[in-house]
Structure 1
Amino acid sequence: MTDQVMAAIDGSQFSEGVCDYAAWASLALDAPLTFLHVVDNHPQTAEADLSGNIGLGSREHLLEELSELDEKRAKVAQEQGRLMLKDAKERAIQDGVAEPGTRQRNGTLVETLEELENEIRLLVVGKRGETAHQASEHLGSNLERVVRTLHRPILMVSDTFTRPAKVMLAFDGSKTTRKGVEMLAKSPLFDGIPVHVVIVGAETGDNRSQLDWALATLREAGHEAEGAIRAGEVEAALRTYQDENDIDLLVMGAYGHSRIRHLLVGSTTTAMLRKATKPVLLLR
């Protein structure tokens, strides 16, 4: 099945938010929804040093027991995954999705998503995974690798669903963010949602011209749109604008130019994602 919303779920606190945001996106885009759970079967038990004073037979016996334990863990993980997928499917049906699908795969999340990339229209993920540290600013290592690897829009969500009522696009006039404006303008995901376009930089003729183009593009498509040019450090300026205007969802280009380019290739993006308390849509 191609062109679908895919939601990666695990046992983390973000799974319910992932389910609800994925259901919202599926309904808004009129696209099929599939929940994905990946079981990483890498052994959790460190390989013990069983040499020394125990006999060969004893060592083989212990290795057999360790192997059996790994097999049992794998079976338990598979069953946990099936239950998670079942719950996610039921939740999505309650949210109004007619026939959500489920898939369980073995392997790593990043490799699995790479294999499925051509089927994905939008990927929905939580900020952290179940094994991540619970510090509020921790960014799951899986998420960072997924963002750097996948060439699809990625919606990173919070743990509680809030229907987006205002959207903000971090804009710098680059090819990626101009595509972002055009995508926002025509995507049914943002129908009826006011869009704020923000450039972080100096009040120059070029920046004003870029902003005017973005606003005109959005308004021609029927959106209520407003924009601003803010001076200062990119992350702080965007966050301040988001707080001042009660923005529910931030849209960013994964790669751009000027200072916003560093939002993904440098520390600014990582910081932006770490500190995010509301969903962030990353465009590629």
Structure 2
Amino acid sequence: MKNILICTDGSNYSHEACLYGAWLSQHTNASISVLYVTDLRQFEIPAVADFSGSLGIQPFEGMVSQLHEVEEVKAQFVKEHALKTLQGAGVDEVKITFHHETGLLVDVMSDYADMADLVLMGKRGENANFATEHLGSMLERVLRSVEQPCLVTNRQFKPIDSIAIAYDGGASCRKALNYIIANEPFRSMDLHIIVCVEGHKEDEATQRLNEAEAVLKAAALAPTCQMLTGEVETAIAEYVVQSDIDLLLLGAYGHSRIRELLIGSTTTELLRSCYVPVLCFR
């Protein structure tokens, strides 16, 4: 791990994402890029709201200009806060770069994610206190678009000592196994492999569990293996709590988009229900 990209909007969740980024940087010596994206849509609101035309074009242009000025002040505040947080957590200033862009985060990410080995985002954004059960508005779209592993951070930072991989045998989960094998500090952590029995497919679940265990043991790792029963999202979330897991790894959006639209997404439900950071792989 050489480069970490942290997406921030200045919220409390972004603050915690910076703390996780600092922790990982100290353990891997990785550099950190902090990205703040001004949402282009906010500059279009006055034009939509003025249905009567009573404001006129000149007042509207003035409002947009003022919005830009306010946003520049906010961007500077976000920068100062991110740098203060990272440096306060022990990251050398020379390892930190800050970028401010205007657009939509999911579009801007295409230019930045390719330069990163890991992307960090807070689970929720500026409106977290008003929509406590909802994920950030751009989170799911970013997770679906980036190829790099994406760490979705929780409300409060905690050093990572134990990790669990929710293994389903898919390509993204195999990618997660290889990521653990290849990267410190994950190799030295308490490692759990969990497989959930779906319906009556216990033999298939056992095969998956044995497969994951064999891969990790071949890399000189000794995981704790556990087969779970019940509804996937509930069983995994309960195991995370009961086993005091600090980080959950899973394959993101493994089924077809059509199927997810019809019956919902396990990835999204786990992101909502788990109170620990979740590292997603595509």
Scaled by the length of structure 1, the TM-score of the pair is 0.87
Structure 2 runs not aligned, ≥5 long? none
Residues 176 and 255 of structure 1 are in contact (CA less than 8 Å); yes or no, is this contact kept in structure 2?
no
Match of 2:77 in 1: 83
Give the match's secondary structure for 2:131. coil
Q: CA deviation at 1:244?
A: 1.3
Residues 2 and 28 of structure 2 are in contact (CA less than 8 Å); yes or no, is this contact kept in structure 1?
no
**Candidates 107, 125, 130, aligned match of 2:126:** 130
Q: CA deviation at 1:220?
A: 4.0
Match of 2:87 in 1: 93
Q: CA deviation at 1:27?
A: 2.6
Q: CA deviation at 1:234?
A: 0.8
Matches within 5 A, 1:150-169: 150-169=146-165
Aligned counterparts of 1:211 and 1:276: Cα–Cα separation in 2: 22
Matches within 5 A, 1:18-167: 18-42=17-41, 43=43, 44-45=45-46, 46-51=48-53, 62-98=56-92, 99-131=95-127, 134-167=130-163
Aligned counterparts of 2:204 and 2:266: Cα–Cα separation in 1: 24
Pairs aligned (count): 272
Moved more, 198-207 or 92-101: 198-207
Matches within 5 A, 1:168-187: 168-187=164-183
Give the match's secondary structure for 1:188. coil
Aligned counterparts of 1:262 and 1:222: Cα–Cα separation in 2: 37
- Aligned letter for 1:102? F
Match of 1:210 in 2: 208
Q: CA deviation at 1:14?
A: 0.6
Aligned counterparts of 2:236 and 2:26: Cα–Cα separation in 1: 29
- Aligned letter for 1:16? H
In our comparison, the structure showing a higher alpha carbon Rg is 1
Q: Deviations 1:255-279 (Å, cap 9, x if unpaired)?
A: 4469xx969x933222211222110
Q: 1:173 to 1:50 in 2, by over 3 A?
A: closer
Match of 1:54 in 2: none
Structure 1 runs not aligned, ≥5 long? 52-58
Aligned counterparts of 2:175 and 2:268: Cα–Cα separation in 1: 22
Residues 3 and 119 of structure 1 are in contact (CA less than 8 Å); yes or no, is this contact kept in structure 2?
no
Aligned counterparts of 1:6 and 1:63: Cα–Cα separation in 2: 39
Give the match's secondary structure for 1:160. coil
Q: 1:157 to 1:91 in 2, by over 3 A?
A: same
Aligned counterparts of 1:217 and 1:238: Cα–Cα separation in 2: 21
Residues 253 and 266 of structure 2 are in contact (CA less than 8 Å); yes or no, is this contact kept in structure 1?
no
- Aligned letter for 1:251? L
Q: 1:214 to 1:262 in 2, by over 3 A?
A: farther
Q: CA deviation at 1:136?
A: 2.4
- Aligned letter for 1:49? F
Q: CA deviation at 1:228?
A: 0.9
Q: CA deviation at 1:206?
A: 4.5
**Candidates 244, 266, 269, aligned match of 2:267:** 269
Percent of residue pairs bearing the same amino acid type:
31
Moved >6 Å (runs of 4+): none
Aligned counterparts of 1:222 and 1:193: Cα–Cα separation in 2: 13
Aligned counterparts of 2:237 and 2:167: Cα–Cα separation in 1: 14
Give the match's secondary structure for 1:210. helix
